[in-house]
Chains A and B, each alone.
Chain A
């Protein structure tokens, strides 16, 4: 089956710890994205990557870091500098690299930091 996998589904961390969220796609898509979804806030773009070894900041990149060493993988690290990290994190990919290309979303990771 082709698609996007995110793991784990639920993640719990103590404040002050860095945590890395996994995102893998086997759709052979060029572009990948990370969004954060909070209740009543919609989707906000954290980082996106249009090609391997390149990525750009989205609207809320502070406190997050990413890497794109392989086309199929785009892990997101939530650092201790992120002031309010508890949220639902969604990874997406698209075949093209423009904003009109359909984005396919993973099932999400719900991160809780206490």
Chain B
């Protein structure tokens, strides 16, 4: 079982839809959870960052962590064509010598 699982999609939605992107993980020691957004042929950029369980909201984006289920989600409200990108989840324990573990990424396409 891989440490981080993420459905690669692709996921296609109409403009204005609510999008749900998800990752599951196996290492219960993960404490820090991130979502990176990557536009085509570009490097990823940090979108959301959460620590431990709970929700975090930033504009149209909400990151949710459920540590009991080892499940994290990114919700996008009122999706726009400019949201079309690959979304990568990433997580770490932050213990010494550990690295950030990325999911495979989910490709999202929002049509106008």
| Chain A interfacial positions (CB closer than 8 Å to B) | 4, 40-45, 48, 56, 58-59, 90, 92, 98-100, 102-108, 110
* Chain B residue nearest in CB terms to A98: B94
Interface bracket on B = 20 to 34
* 17 pairs from A and B in contact (CB 8 Å cutoff): A41-B104, A42-B4, A42-B104, A42-B105, A43-B44, A43-B102, A44-B102, A92-B43, A99-B93, A99-B99, A99-B100, A100-B94, A102-B46, A103-B100, A107-B41, A107-B43, A108-B43
Residues of B within 8 A of A56 (CB): 97
| Chain B interfacial positions (CB closer than 8 Å to A) | 4, 6, 8, 32, 41-46, 49, 88, 92-94, 97-100, 102-105
Additional pairs, 5, CB under 8 Å, beyond known A42-B4, A42-B103, A107-B43: A90-B44, A99-B99, A107-B41, A108-B42, A110-B41
Distance (Å) between the CB of A91 and the closest chain B CB? 8
In the complex, number of A-B residue pairs with CB atoms less than 8 Å apart: 51
Residues of B within 8 A of A92 (CB): 43
Q: How far is the CA of A110 from the CA of B43 in the complex (A)?
A: 12
Q: Do A105 and B99 touch across chains, with their CB atoms under 8 A apart?
A: no
Q: How far is the CA of A104 from the CA of B36 in the complex (A)?
A: 10
Residues of A within 8 A of B43 (CB): 4, 90, 92, 105-108
* Chain B residue nearest in CB terms to A99: B92
Q: Which of B44, B93, B94 has the most CB of A within 10 A?
A: B44
Q: Do B42 and A40 touch across chains, with their CB atoms under 8 A apart?
A: no
Distance (Å) between the CB of A89 and the closest chain B CB? 10
Distance (Å) between the CB of B47 and the closest chain A CB? 11
Q: Do A105 and B6 touch across chains, with their CB atoms under 8 A apart?
A: no
Q: How far is the CA of A109 from the CA of B60 in the complex (A)?
A: 31
* Chain B residue nearest in CB terms to A38: B104
